[in-house]
A and B are shown apart, each in its own frame.
Chain A
Amino acid sequence: MNAIKSILRWLDDRSGFSDVVLPMLRHVVPDNARWWYVFGSATLCAFMVQVISGIALATTYVPGGEAAYESLLYITNEAPLGNLLRGMHYYGATAMVILAIIHMTQVFLHAAYKYPRELNWMSGVVVLFVVLGMSFTGQLLRWDANGVWSVTVAAEMAGRAPVVGPAIAHAILGGETVGGSTLTRFFAIHVFVLPGLIFAGIGLHLWLVLRHGISEMPNPDQPVEPDTYKEDYESRLEKTGVPFWPIAAWRDTVFSVAVMALIVGCALFFGPPALGTSPDPSDINANPMPDWYFWWYFAILSMLPPELETYVILGLPVVGLIGLIIVPIWSNKGDRSPSKRPWAVGTVVFGFTALVVLTIYGYKKPWSPDFGVEPLPAQLVGSSDPAIVHGAQLVHQKGCMYCHDVDGYGGHRGPELSDIGHRLNRADLIIRINNGGYNMPSFAASLTAAELSDMVAFLQTRTNSSRQVVSDSTGAAAP
């Protein structure tokens, strides 16, 4: 027993644990934050889940061409605990992105980024962008058809950059096309480059927390005065501060346990995201879609006027990064309390509303043709006139319903046709179908005169928008 004690004492003396590490753990923090400050440590906990589950997955995953897909199938379907680990890695990533954003929002609302913690904020913003880079590259490592097409879309986006665009695109692809050198690049970035940056960024972030201390809860009567702040902070902490370990830290650990339970629970109950079809770039039936973190961006790109598109594709990430980094330069003193910073509260409310609305749009993607739409059932056609029945078939067969909703069946790219009989007469319908219109192709070359006549006859019977029995806004043809 004494031998063990003396070994521990020796280790402590030579390593300096009691001298250096313990004071860090016991550094004095404000006592009034309570549950507000648990999100940063929970983000770190989610990152730990990512590191550990990622290393385990990397022992089996083969980052090359076709073999990647085979190894993913093996991990998902055969390897013991493989399905659980893939799930933990996926929900861990989800948790990390969500928690990092909540953490940032809390810091922004409480203006904890003001003097002297400007660099804490800036380092956090950089780490957040690296984490988003991890999400994107991680989605690609799920090397199915969606992965292949996500790389292609990324290369096409980069290709829009002036002068250096094509070079960047080819550097992303590892060549002039998707091929054997594409996935290995993203593997190296996802497994070595970005995690290295995250470790370094978190290291700096935590060091700065120790250097400047944890901020107090905002007090409307205590605006930040850089000249006197440090002295005031120290003297207040002397009176009311508590040691981080264990007085404040227990809430962090409790919350992190809840986060971890949620990650493992989701992995167990929902499982990892399903693998799509194999990564064959010549398979044209792929329906590329980013993971949910980027649905808002997907929606923005889909709804923009094309002439603005290039500027937004290239500019938004840069403007977003710079805009967030300069927040503490913009304002590093004065009020911290949200009650005295209506613009800050407004920014958060507007930002989250936009994010949620765009994310929902990105998920529903009403701008995409609905290739899976089913023909209109006979009771909705509502006629036994052979011309009208044939017209209804043609509206499905010729692809009209990919983009137009007819009585609840069809896509939402173009206007709904459920009451088109009210809005356009026979002559107008013929002109519109033959010539096309804004964002509508001309069908003159693909319809015979008889077909056009039947189609118009059917469309003229669509006079009642209330006939709509199934109004599924996703455009999926739910029967």
Chain B
Amino acid sequence: MQEDTVDSDADRRSFLTRLSVGLAGLIGAVISLPPIGYVLSPLVRKPPRKWRDVGSLKQFPMGETKLVQFQDASSTAWAGDTAKTGAWLRRTGESEFIAFSVNCRHLGCPVRWIKDAKLFMCPCHGGVYYQDGEVAAGPPPEALARYPVRVVDGNVEIETSPIPLTTNDVA
């Protein structure tokens, strides 16, 4: 009789312990899952790409490389200047252009076009690229990334794109 009471008391305690721990876990999950999903939502919600007008054909002399600026695809109302992206736009033909991302392929710093040397140079770790974007010197593992570019009704348009990431994934 005595034994039974002790046993059932122990059962009751262990059941209540498990119940409370389980319920506390449930509370934890319910209050933390929505915030985690909210914080990670930019990973799933990809903004649609947009074509941005960066100027008329005649602003870009043949063979020259000029800095153009355009708005990102996902500009929030409060982003202001931070929603801008730059690109080095090089005219290679009557209606042919190359739009280089300004991000160095080493660690993403903004490369500068050195007109007289016909080189792109990065201020961070000294990456250098030729005018066609190929690596000329320094640590960058890849050529400068390019944005899609087109000419519509005499205007040059660049398609918004994610920041080019140099990954180690096999393409």
Q: Tell me if B56 counts as interface (CB < 8 A to partner A).
A: no
Q: Tell me if A214 counts as interface (CB < 8 A to partner B).
A: no
B109–A180 CB distance below 8 A: no
A436 and B136 contact, Cβ closer than 8 Å, known pairs A367-B125, A398-B116: yes
Per the CB 8 Å criterion, the residue count for chain A at the interface is: 68
The residues of A that contact B131 with a CB separation of less than 8 Å are 445
Q: Tell me if A278 counts as interface (CB < 8 A to partner B).
A: yes
A152–B123 CB distance below 8 A: no
Choose, from B12-20, B23-31, B78-86, B148-156, the stretch at the interface.
Answer: B78-86
- Complex Cα spacing A149 to B169, Å: 24
A182–B109 CB distance below 8 A: no
The residues of B that contact A285 with a CB separation of less than 8 Å are 110, 112
B82–A65 CB distance below 8 A: yes
Closest to B161 in A: A176
B126–A368 CB distance below 8 A: yes
A288 and B138 contact, Cβ closer than 8 Å, known pairs A166-B167, A180-B77, A441-B128: no
Q: Tell me if A450 counts as interface (CB < 8 A to partner B).
A: no
Q: Tell me if B21 counts as interface (CB < 8 A to partner A).
A: no
A279–B82 CB distance below 8 A: yes
The residues of B that contact A445 with a CB separation of less than 8 Å are 118, 130-131
Q: How far is the CB of B148 from chain A (nearest CB, A)?
A: 15
A179–B72 CB distance below 8 A: yes
The residues of A that contact B139 with a CB separation of less than 8 Å are 302, 306, 309
Q: How large is the interface on B (under 10, 10 to 19, 20 to 34, 35 or more residues)?
A: 35 or more
- Complex Cα spacing A444 to B118, Å: 10
Q: Tell me if A265 counts as interface (CB < 8 A to partner B).
A: no
A288–B81 CB distance below 8 A: no
Q: Tell me if B10 counts as interface (CB < 8 A to partner A).
A: no
Closest to A143 in B: B82
Q: How far is the CB of A133 from chain B (nearest CB, A)?
A: 16
A368–B124 CB distance below 8 A: yes
Partner of A281, one of B76, B85, B114, B116: B85
Closest to A70 in B: B80
A284 and B82 contact, Cβ closer than 8 Å, known pairs A371-B123, A413-B126: no
Q: How far is the CB of B169 from chain A (nearest CB, A)?
A: 7
The residues of A that contact B111 with a CB separation of less than 8 Å are 284
A169 and B165 contact, Cβ closer than 8 Å, known pairs A279-B82, A283-B86: yes
A369 and B123 contact, Cβ closer than 8 Å, known pairs A283-B86, A436-B137: yes
The residues of A that contact B67 with a CB separation of less than 8 Å are 282, 284
Q: How far is the CB of A145 from chain B (nearest CB, A)?
A: 9
Partner of A177, one of B74, B81, B128: B74
Q: Beta-carbon contacts of A165-191 to B below 8 Å, as 1s and 0s?
A: 111011101111111111101000000
A162–B168 CB distance below 8 A: yes
Q: Beta-carbon contacts of B62-75 to A below 8 Å, as 1s and 0s?
A: 00000101101111
B83–A284 CB distance below 8 A: no
Partner of A440, one of B72, B85, B137, B166: B137
Partner of A175, one of B42, B161, B169: B42
Closest to A160 in B: B168
The residues of B that contact A174 with a CB separation of less than 8 Å are 42
Q: Tell me if A403 counts as interface (CB < 8 A to partner B).
A: yes
Q: Which residues of chain B in 30-81 are interfacial with respect to chain A, using CB atoms and an 8 Å cutoff?
A: 39-40, 42-43, 46-47, 67, 69-70, 72-81
- Complex Cα spacing A301 to B47, Å: 33
- Complex Cα spacing A67 to B137, Å: 38
B116–A176 CB distance below 8 A: no
The residues of A that contact B75 with a CB separation of less than 8 Å are 179-180
Closest to B135 in A: A441
- Complex Cα spacing A320 to B108, Å: 25
A441 and B137 contact, Cβ closer than 8 Å, known pairs A65-B81, A176-B74, A302-B125: yes
Q: Which residues of chain A in 265-316 are interfacial with respect to chain B, using CB atoms and an 8 Å cutoff?
A: 278-288, 301-302, 306, 309-310
The residues of A that contact B114 with a CB separation of less than 8 Å are 399, 402
Q: Tell me if A3 counts as interface (CB < 8 A to partner B).
A: no
Q: How far is the CB of B45 from chain A (nearest CB, A)?
A: 9
Q: How far is the CB of B104 from chain A (nearest CB, A)?
A: 9
B47–A175 CB distance below 8 A: yes
Q: Tell me if A129 counts as interface (CB < 8 A to partner B).
A: no
Q: Tell me if B22 counts as interface (CB < 8 A to partner A).
A: no
Q: How far is the CB of B96 from chain A (nearest CB, A)?
A: 19
Cβ-closest 8 pairs across A and B: A66-B80, A180-B79, A180-B76, A282-B86, A441-B136, A176-B162, A399-B117, A159-B165
**17 A-B contact pairs sorted by A residue (CB < 8 Å):** A65-B81, A152-B109, A155-B108, A159-B165, A163-B169, A169-B163, A177-B73, A180-B79, A278-B81, A280-B84, A281-B84, A281-B86, A282-B84, A283-B86, A301-B125, A302-B124, A413-B126
Chain B contact residues, CB within 8 Å of chain A:
39-40, 42-43, 46-47, 67, 69-70, 72-86, 102-103, 106-112, 114, 116-119, 121-126, 128, 130-131, 136-139, 141, 160-163, 165-169
Known: A280-B82, A285-B112, A309-B139. 7 other contacts (CB 8 A): A153-B108, A160-B167, A177-B72, A177-B85, A287-B124, A301-B107, A445-B130
Chain A contact residues, CB within 8 Å of chain B:
64-67, 148-149, 152-153, 155-157, 159-163, 165-167, 169-171, 173-183, 185, 278-288, 301-302, 306, 309-310, 367-369, 371, 397-399, 402-403, 413, 436, 439-443, 445-446
